[in-house]
């Protein structure tokens, strides 16, 4: 992508993602700018938030609701997951609730080849393979990891190349 683009989409919420989808489908070169991460505003909403429209009315271009409750109402975290899945983003959250360090092995073979990137600092972890993925967590520690898939550039996530 060149440094000069004709279209700049501000925000990676549901409207910005939908516009980006349609521009991409039309072959229009564009850049999506987001101050934080995809659908950030949704994660800041109160815990008890639910959509007031039925799930079957969620009709992002190419990202219609495909769940088991078309007449239900998505909660905040479900909306956030739907928007991140729509954009092709996978996020792994691992918590240690113990007062001591813990070694864990995670079954992540479905994400083979993905590279975990820590969301807060951008640190890259070794790529996921066929074997259980080993992590060591500090007492009460946690990791928030974005699973970057092969062929996806940092820019596809709205991240400057130098910050990854």
Please name each of the domains of the chain with its CATH number.
Answer: 90-164 (2.60.40.1180)
- Measured CA angle at 32 (ends 90, 17), to 5 deg: 60
Neighbours of 156 (CB within 10 A): 14
Q: Tens digit of pLDDT for each residue in 79-124?
A: 777 776 766 667 777 888 889 999 989 888 888 899 998 877 788 9
Give the 3-state secondary structure of the chain: CCCCCCEEEECCCHHHHHHHHHHHHCCCCEEEECCCCCCHHHHCCCCCCECCCCHHHCEECCEECCCCCCCCCCEHHHHHHHHHHHCCCCEEEEECCCCCCEEEEECCHHHCCCEEEECCCCCECCCCCCCCEEEEECCCCEEEEEEECCCCCHHHHCCCHHHC
Please tell me which residue, 128 or 157, carries the higher pLDDT value: 128
pLDDT score of 132: 92
pLDDT of the residue at 6: 76
**Residue 158: pLDDT over 50:** no
Stated pTM of the model: 0.46
Answer whether 96's CB lies under 8 Å from 141's CB.
yes
Q: Residues 47-77: pLDDT tens digits?
A: 777 778 898 888 777 777 777 888 998 887 7
Q: CA of 128: how far to CAs of 67, 114, 148, 160, in Å?
A: 27, 6, 10, 23
């Amino acid at each position: 992508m060149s440094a000069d683009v004709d279209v700049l989409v501000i925000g990676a919420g549901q409207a910005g993602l939908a516009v980006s989808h349609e521009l991409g489908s039309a072959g229009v070169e564009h850049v999506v700018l987001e101050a934080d991460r995809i659908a950030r505003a949704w994660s800041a909403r109160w815990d008890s938030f639910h959509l007031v429209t039925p799930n079957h009315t969620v009709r992002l271009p190419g990202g219609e609701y495909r769940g088991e409750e078309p007449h239900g109402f998505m909660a905040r975290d479900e909306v956030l997951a739907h928007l991140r899945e729509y954009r092709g983003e996978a996020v792994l959250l691992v918590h240690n609730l113990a007062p001591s360090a813990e070694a864990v092995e995670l079954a992540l073979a479905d994400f083979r080849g993905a590279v975990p990137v820590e969301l807060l600092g951008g640190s890259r972890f070794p790529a996921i393979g066929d074997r259980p993925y080993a992590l060591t967590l500090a007492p009460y520690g946690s990791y928030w990891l974005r699973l970057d898939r092969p062929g996806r550039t940092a820019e596809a996530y709205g991240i400057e190349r130098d910050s990854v």
